[in-house]
Structure 1
Amino acid sequence: MINFFGISNFKSLVDFQVSLPKFTVLIGLNGAGKTTILQAFDFLSQVMSGRLDEWLISRGWDKADIASKFAPTSNIAFVATNRQENDNFNKLWYGSFNRKELACLYEMATCWNDEQGEEELLLLKGRQYRISNSEMTPIAFSYQGSILSQLRDTELSSELKSIRDTLRNIRSLELLSPHLMRQRTRDSATSIGIGGEKLSAYLHAIKGGDKQHLLELLRTFYPRVIDFKSSPTKGGWKRLSIIEDFDGKHVESEVRHINDGLLRVLAMLAQTLDGDAMLLFDEVENGVNPEIVEKLVNLLVNAKQQILVTTHNPMILNYLEDDVARESVLFVYKTPEGFTRVRPFFSLPGVGEKLDLMGPGEAFVDTDLVALTATCVELDKQAQAAEDVDEKAKKAPAPRKATA
């Protein structure tokens, strides 16, 4: 699980940082940067996977599109910490990504705990790298993203593999599109794709108990569904169809005739079978009937995966328990300089108290988000002023002792 994420010089994210629980909901005004935060997590995953050029092409972006217009430097700096269940060590990965070379030219990874202190796992600097305490080795190969994307498993410690695999397994589903989910696909797939374009191939690989579990989940939303089939056709293309029961008559329909809501729910449920992934959903309620939103929210809150969603719909928050809402709902806002920032929504002045009288969604509706943004900006100024005072105090000369 990713506990903390920081990034600077990625679009509107300048000196951005956020602590993450297992389930997180991002709320805020349009244009505050909610989707940009999801994109930054996807960027982090692609850096660790080493496929930056493919990623930029798939999004229709150029190198210049990912850099901030508010920072003087072109490099993108980032840091992430993670800790797995039953693991005594916290792990940190820091890097500086060069946009021109699409590669990290500086990387550092460490692990630590209270008993044993901190240990270096990886250092990349000046076209050389080392694993743990080995000698620095010149880099004799080209790579994109992180050098960890190119090193063999046999070269990596279990801690480095944990960092690499956690970040590789971030699955961004922010562009889920019924049009893309209806496409036939040819290649095998380890995820449904950023827009759901690989759904038929991904479902084709689900067999046995996993398929039955997925069908049971799907029937809690759509009771008529009894099966789905992803059948190979000529040329290796895979065709997806849904089988439904109408008064004992089984009707099979190709996916191009299936409603958008069923497709979105099927895609989200299918991806929750990947137990090691972190899942990102943008406006999770889109295209889904209000009658089944509560079931969907409960499923995501209780999923095995770490999940990050955005929403504009107060109904989503109303289906959260108060203690879950206090921890998981984060308010995203922009400063006057154009920087995206985030704060826990129910810890802000005048907001948390509302949970004593109303539900989380009602508290959201009852809050003026424009005024709340101004409050957050003022809190930022106060925090910065306090930091400046601390810095001056550290630099101030020690008072001389009085002489007799």
Structure 2
Amino acid sequence: MLTNFKIDNFKSLTDFSLPGDESSLGKFVCLIGLNGAGKSTVLQAVDFVSQLVIGDVSKWLSSRGWERSDLVGKGSKKRNINFSMHFLVEGIGDLTWVGSYNSQQGRCTKEELSFVPFPSLKDDGFFPTRSVVFNFESGVIRDNAGWRRDVGDYTGSVFNKFKAPSSGANRNDVVAIYLLRYVLRGVKSLELLSPQLMRRSSKGGGDVGVGGETLAAFVYGLSPQEKEQFFEKLLEFYPRLDSASSKSGKYGWKRFFISERYENSTELDARHVNDGLLRIAAIIAQTVAKTPPRYDDAKVNPQQRGYQFVLLDEIENGMNPEVVERVVKYLLEVRQQVFVTTHSPLILNYLADDVARKSVFLIYRRKDGSSGATRFFEIKDVADRLELMGPGEAFLDVGLERLGAKLSRS
């Protein structure tokens, strides 16, 4: 689980920190704020940093129509994007990654990866049972046991394709690098979900795609148990559904179909399915899917990816309030850590007060135009209202424009 995230010089995020204090992020994170405050930028920043370890920043930029120069803050003379991420790896230990990405070179010029095992970690000969630190600078990577090695050409992070087994480093220590790859390859952004893309036929994919374009093929490749769970969860949102599945057509192209229990009802393919149902289908499919074990049967998609983090922009898009309430309750129960943005005060009403206090962050613009973050219900004006109102009513009553202006002056 990501517990702390800091980044500097990424678009409007200058010296930005989430949660912004000494506490930790929870399993559910909800970002609110005015249009242009930087909510979507926070999701983009988390996704961008994860791409450095995946090693496919060029493809990530292309999917958004961006250049590397678009990543740095407008008007900034600095070319480096500095970041840090702290993870709590359940049952194993704390993992911290700090880096500096040069937007002109397209790679990190400095990095530090540190792993601190939990005292209770079993000494099974696999995980390191002592603190491990890897430092990278000036083309040389070192660890705190005295090992060092020159590094050749690379893009993104030095850790993305570093051949740890043949590096000569301690076999147990390099597990820290594998943990970093594991947690960051577990980030799945659904911020670009597009119903038009989800209506397409597709042949294959390890997930639903950047914009949902491989939804049909992905649903088709789920295991029988995952397909059953997928339909059961979708049925909770749309009780009239009689079926929801993907079928294979000519040349292996898959298309998503649904049918509903009405008189004279017929099966509809994705071209005629409403936007909200498609968005929910993509969210459920991605959250029920797990990475299949190597020994799994041939009916399962071998490229299938199971993620540990899901990023969702404007969660309420294309859905009526009753459905959105079910989506929020569903996301509070999934195994993944979830980051969402919203403009709707109703979303906050679907959260218990204790969850809202911990999970909801206001993103606002500071005096210099950069984005700041603070826990919404720890702001005095809002906390006072929460004593008398529900979270959504407090959201409406306080006035985000006035509150943002007040915070920007502080």
**Both proteins in one fold, TM over 0.5:** yes
Matched, 1:263 2:278: yes
Q: Structure 1: how far apart are the matches of 2:186 and 2:205?
A: 13
Structure 1 partner of 2:40: 35
Q: CA deviation at 1:84?
A: 2.0
Q: 1:145 aligns with which of 147, 156, 171?
A: 156
Instruction: Classify the secondary structure of the residue corresponding to 2:89.
Output: coil
Q: Structure 2: how far apart are the matches of 1:96 and 1:245?
A: 55
Q: Structure 2: how far apart are the matches of 1:229 and 1:23?
A: 29
Q: CA deviation at 1:259?
A: 0.9
**Aligned AA for 1:84?**
V
**Aligned AA for 2:344?**
N
Q: Deviations over 1:218-255 (max 9, x none)?
A: 001112223333233334322222233335x7732111
Q: Structure 1: how far apart are the matches of 2:251 and 2:133?
A: 46
Matches within 5 A, 1:332-351: 332-351=363-382
Q: Structure 1: how far apart are the matches of 2:259 and 2:154?
A: 45
Q: 1:128 aligns with which of 140, 154, 161?
A: 140
Structure 2 partner of 1:253: 268
Contact 2:132 2:176 in 1 (8 A): no
Matched, 1:112 2:116: yes
**Aligned AA for 2:56?**
R
Instruction: Classify the secondary structure of the residue corresponding to 2:63.
Output: helix
Contact 2:14 2:370 in 1 (8 A): yes
The 1:236/1:144 distance shift into structure 2, 3 A limit, reads farther
Structure 1 unaligned runs (5+)?
Answer: 380-404
Matched, 1:13 2:13: yes
Task: Specify which structure has the higher proportion of helix.
Answer: 1
**Identity within the alignment, %:** 40
- TM-score (normalizing by structure 2): 0.86
Q: Structure 2: how far apart are the matches of 1:134 and 1:252?
A: 65
Matches within 5 A, 1:80-229: 80-87=85-92, 89-112=93-116, 119-131=131-143, 133-140=145-152, 142-152=153-163, 154=165, 157-186=174-203, 188-229=204-245
Structure 2 partner of 1:400: none
Structure 2 partner of 1:390: none
Q: Structure 2: how far apart are the matches of 1:149 and 1:346?
A: 38
Contact 2:89 2:95 in 1 (8 A): no
Q: Structure 1: how far apart are the matches of 2:163 and 2:198?
A: 34
Matched, 1:230 2:246: yes
Contact 1:110 1:118 in 2 (8 A): no
Q: Deviations over 1:243-296 (max 9, x none)?
A: 33335x773211101111111111111111146421111110110122222111
Q: CA deviation at 1:332?
A: 0.4
Contact 2:185 2:307 in 1 (8 A): no
Contact 1:27 1:332 in 2 (8 A): yes
Q: CA deviation at 1:152?
A: 4.0
The 1:147/1:235 distance shift into structure 2, 3 A limit, reads farther
**Aligned AA for 2:202?**
T
Q: Structure 2: how far apart are the matches of 1:201 and 1:217?
A: 19
Contact 2:364 2:372 in 1 (8 A): yes
Q: CA deviation at 1:372?
A: 1.3
> Rg bigger for which structure?
1
Matches within 5 A, 1:319-338: 319-338=350-369
Contact 1:81 1:92 in 2 (8 A): yes
**Aligned AA for 1:158?**
V
Matched, 1:66 2:71: yes
Instruction: Classify the secondary structure of the residue corresponding to 1:110.
Output: strand
Q: Structure 2: how far apart are the matches of 1:114 and 1:35?
A: 34
- TM-score (normalizing by structure 1): 0.88
Structure 2 unaligned runs (5+)?
Answer: 20-24, 121-128, 167-172, 290-305
Contact 2:94 2:118 in 1 (8 A): no
Q: 1:291 aligns with which of 322, 338, 346?
A: 322
Q: CA deviation at 1:112?
A: 2.8
**Aligned AA for 2:157?**
S
Q: Structure 1: how far apart are the matches of 2:73 and 2:100?
A: 14
Q: CA deviation at 1:338?
A: 1.1
> Size of the alignment, in residue pairs?
375
Q: Structure 1: how far apart are the matches of 2:163 and 2:288?
A: 27
